[in-house]
Amino acid sequence: MDERLYAELANRLRHEAVVVASVIETLGATPRKRGARMLISAEATAASIGGGLAEARTIAAARALLAAPQRDAVALDIDLGGGAGAAGICGGRMRLELRLWNGAVDLALAAEVAAQLAAGLRVELPPPDAALPLLPNPRLLIVGAGHCGAALCEAARLLDFDIAVFDTRADCVSDVAFSGAQRYSGSYAELARALDTPRAIYAVLLNRDFGADIASLRELCARPPAFLGMMGSSRRIRQVIEALPEHALALQRLQAPIGLDIAAETPQEIAVSILAQLVQVRRRVGR
pLDDT tens-digit series, residues 201-247: 999 999 999 999 999 999 999 999 999 999 999 999 999 999 999 99
Q: 121 pLDDT exceeds 80? A: yes
Helix residue ranges per DSSP H, the chain: 2-12, 52-67, 103-118, 147-156, 170-173, 191-194, 210-222, 234-242, 248-251, 267-284
Looking at residue 171, its pLDDT comes to: 94
Least confident interval from 5-14, 54-63, 199-208, 276-285: 276-285
Give the CA angle between residues 277, 138, 168 to the nearest 5°. 85
8 Å CB contact between 17 and 101: yes
Backbone angles phi, psi at 254, to 5 degrees: -65, 125
Of 245, 240, 239, 196, nearest to 216 by C-alpha is: 240
Distance CA 247, CA 202 (A): 18
Closest alpha carbon to 5 in 94, 127, 108, 135: 135
Q: How many CB atoms lie within 10 A of CB 139?
A: 22
Helix (H/G/I), strand (E/B), else coil: 245: helix
Q: What is the pLDDT of residues 26-56, one digit of tens each?
A: 999 999 999 999 999 999 999 999 999 999 9
CB 42 within 8 A of CB 15: no
Question: At the topology level of CATH, where does 139-284 sit?
Answer: Rossmann fold (3.40.50)
% residues pLDDT > 70 (the chain): 98
- Cα 89 to Cα 30: distance, rounded to the nearest angstrom: 10
- Looking at residue 153, its amino acid is C
Enumerate residues 6+ apart whose C-beta is below 8 A from 228.
Answer: 203, 205, 220, 250, 253, 254, 255
What pLDDT digit, counting tens, does each position of 127-158 carry?
656 567 899 999 999 999 999 999 999 999 99
Domain boundaries, the chain: 2-118, 139-284
- The CA distance from 133 to 262, in Å, is 34
pLDDT at 72: 82
- What are phi and psi for residue 212, nearest 5 degrees? -65, -35
Residue 151: the pLDDT is 97
Classify strands 18-27 and 93-101 as parallel, antiparallel or unpaired. antiparallel
Give me the count of residues in the chain.
Answer: 287
Percent of the chain with pLDDT over 90: 88
Q: What are the tens digits of pLDDT across the range 159-196?
A: 999 999 999 999 999 999 999 999 999 999 999 999 99
Decide: pTM greater than 0.85. Answer: yes
Instruction: Using the predicted structure, report yes or no on whether residue 283 has a pLDDT greater than 90.
Output: no
